[in-house]
Amino acid sequence: MISGDVLSAIAMTEPGAGSDLAAMRTTAQRTDKGYVINGAKVFITNGLQAELVIVCAKTDPGAGAKGVSLFLVDASLPGFSRGKGIRKIGQHASDTAELFFSDLVVPHDALLGEEGRGFAYLMQELPRERLGVGAQAVGATEGVLAITLDYVQQRKAFGQRVADFQNTRFKLAEAGRAWRWQKPI
């Protein structure tokens, strides 16, 4: 993954539970042959193309967040399947999909870190991911506002620029106030 030779995904979000890791229903039961994973994930970025998936699963369903463990899952293993791609409004550079695990057996050494520490590991890294998502959202919003300002200055309707209509100016002022936009129209 570090070299970029393997495309990966992280499978946390579940149908009906969202990203509430304590409420997840995907399980990984330890057996003599390895861990047997059963469950489903949804809204998984790179889910259609990932060759290696970090799967969050409950190894101790009665322990809440302390029962969550992480597993490195080879997407070519029997019992791993993908649903169809999920269409999104934005972020088209990466796919999003459902993933399914049906009696998927992974070896014991597929456990990432220590059993029951998956939630703690995720909480260490998720704030950094959320910061990136927030920065991306701010940049996208500012970009859309800039495109909108350019458009309303160039577009004419009823013999005047759209930017000169009172309601357009009200709406742009509201948007500009929300984003502290300094560009005059």
> Does a structural domain hold residue 147?
yes
Q: What is the CATH number of the domain that holds 167?
A: 1.20.140.10
- 150-178 core/surface letters (b: 16 or more CB in 10 A; e: else): eebeeeeeeeeebbeeeebeeebeeebee
**What mean pLDDT, rounded, does the chain reach?**
90
pTM of the model: 0.77
Catalytic pick among 114, 125, 129, 142: 129
Contacts of 68 (CB under 8 A, 6+ apart): 21, 22, 24, 56, 57, 58, 59, 116, 118, 119, 122
Q: What is the CATH number of the domain that holds 111?
A: 2.40.110.10
The answer on 151 and 107 residing in a single domain is: no
The answer on 94 and 152 residing in a single domain is: no
> Does a structural domain hold residue 37?
yes
Mean pLDDT within 111-117 = 97
Beta strand extents in 32-167 (DSSP E only): 34-45, 52-58, 68-74, 80-85, 96-106, 111-112, 156-157, 160-161
> Does a structural domain hold residue 154?
yes
Rounded to whole angstroms, what are the CA distances from 166 to 149, 161, 163, 171? 14, 11, 8, 9
Structure confidence at residue 164 (pLDDT) = 93
Q: How far apart are CA 89 and CA 152, in angstroms?
A: 23
Q: Which two tokens stand for residue 100?
A: 């399914």
Domain count, the chain: 2
> Does a structural domain hold residue 16?
yes
Domain that holds residue 38: 8-116
Is 142 noted as a catalytic residue in this protein? no
pLDDT digits (tens, 9 = 90+) for 123-181: 888 888 888 888 888 888 888 888 998 999 999 999 999 999 999 999 888 877 766 65
> Does a structural domain hold residue 3?
no
Mean pLDDT within 66-78 = 97
Q: How far apart are CA 172 and CA 152, in angstroms?
A: 10
Task: Collapse the DSSP code of 133 into the 3-class scheme (helix H, G, I; strand E, B; otherwise coil) and give the result.
Answer: helix
The answer on 104 and 22 residing in a single domain is: yes
Structure confidence at residue 184 (pLDDT) = 55
pLDDT digits (tens, 9 = 90+) for 11-56: 999 998 877 777 899 999 999 999 999 999 999 999 999 999 999 9
The answer on 130 and 112 residing in a single domain is: no
Task: Collapse the DSSP code of 36 into the 3-class scheme (helix H, G, I; strand E, B; otherwise coil) and give the result.
Answer: strand
